[in-house]
Amino acid sequence: MKPINKTTILRVLSFLAGIMIIIPFLLFAGCTGQALEPQLEGTRWTLTGYVYNGMPAQVLSGTTVTLDFGYNGHITGSAGCNHYFASYEVKGKALTIGPAGSTEMYCVTPGVMDQEGTYLTLLGRATTVTIQDDRLTVSDTEGTTVLTFAKTVLPLPEPLVGTNWTLESFHTADAVSSVIAGTTITAVIGKDGQITGSAGCNHYFARYNVTGTSLLIGPAGSTKMYCTNPGVMQQEGTYLTLLGQASTFTIEGGRLSVSGANGTTILTFLKSVLPA
């Protein structure tokens, strides 16, 4: 066997040393590439500031603007007055948000509706998104940061059973509607297997069954009053119909969302201190 000379040994050692140096860089690059795509699903954020027409602004005192990334490719949240919803898609750092729909309440506090319109406009201009620690920033096509959020720490969920819930909005097809001004729709899910409350005009009652996050509600009975205010009886019928379509529920803090069989939210309630 021909002996290996000293030059060959040095070349082999140099080659191995080079590999040992390169591998950590490759691993680091791979990890960095994975970290570039923000993990948005299931996170909730609260707006801290925005930039419109080159002018920075803070969120109006007394208002809260939120952004929730769902697991179904949809965002929801409060725009400061109305509840809004839209589709979203993330590829790497690229963020695309579809046209937003919202409830149709009007808030009389000065500046609130202007802020809401500005926020939804800027949200529709989203092009990229980054997360650093507990801060999320959204930038437009020019790379300018237009929206800045802080991560929201959710309170412990309220119990489904025994909590007084007041309807915030109901969803039909692609529309989300707020409750008619001057009416209140409530729900109390009792320990006796009954759900009761006000449907906006009449008092109603129905049987329910809960297994895990599954919620099934039987046909509702109600009193037989007739309310003459425009739209109230139609709203009541819509609510009771949607209630019967309940399939699952989620609770985040003091917000109860009820979904139909296809996973789409159909009713949204807030915890209330009002008697049902």
CB-CB neighbours of 30 under 10 Å: 10
Name the residue among 107, 83, 72 with its Cα closest to residue 175: 83
Residue 138 pLDDT > 60: yes
- State both tokens at 1: 């066997």
pLDDT at 108: 85
Mean pLDDT of 112-134: 95
- Name the pLDDT band for 273 (thresholds 50, 70, 90): low
Position 31 scores a pLDDT of 44
CA–chain centroid gap for 199, Å, is: 26
Range 142-148 average pLDDT: 95
Provide the CATH topology of domain 44-151. Lipocalin (2.40.128)
Identical topology for domains 44-151 and 164-271: yes
CB distance 123 to 86 below 8 Å: yes
Rounded Cα gap, residues 44 and 131, in angstroms: 12
Residue 200 has a pLDDT of 96
pLDDT over threshold 90, residue 150: yes
pLDDT for position 32: 41
For tokens 């040994």, name the residue: 9
How does strand 128-132 pair with strand 164-172? unpaired
* pLDDT for the residue 112: 94
Q: In angstroms, rounded to a whole number, what is the distance separating the alpha carbons of residues 143 and 163?
A: 45
Chain mean position to CA 61:
22
Query: Has residue 175 got a pLDDT over 80?
Result: no
Per-residue pLDDT tens for 2-22? 555 555 554 645 555 555 544
* Segment 99-114 mean pLDDT: 88
Region 164-271: CATH code: 2.40.128.270
Q: What is the pLDDT of residues 247-269, one digit of tens each?
A: 999 998 888 999 999 888 899 99
- pLDDT tens per residue across span 199-222: 999 999 999 999 999 999 999 999
Tell me the average pLDDT of the chain: 85
| Residue 174: pLDDT over 90 | no
CA distance 150 to 131: 10
pTM of the model: 0.60
Which distant-in-sequence residues (6+ apart) come within 8 Å of 240 by Cβ? Answer: 199, 204, 220, 222
pLDDT one-digit tens code per residue, 32-52: 443 346 788 888 999 999 999
Alpha helices by DSSP H, listed for the chain, are 6-35, 112-124, 232-243
For the chain, what are the domain ranges?
44-151, 164-271
pLDDT at position 107 is: 87
Distances (CA, A) of 167 to 124, 170, 231: 28, 8, 16
Q: Which pLDDT score, from 0 to 100, does residue 29 have?
A: 40
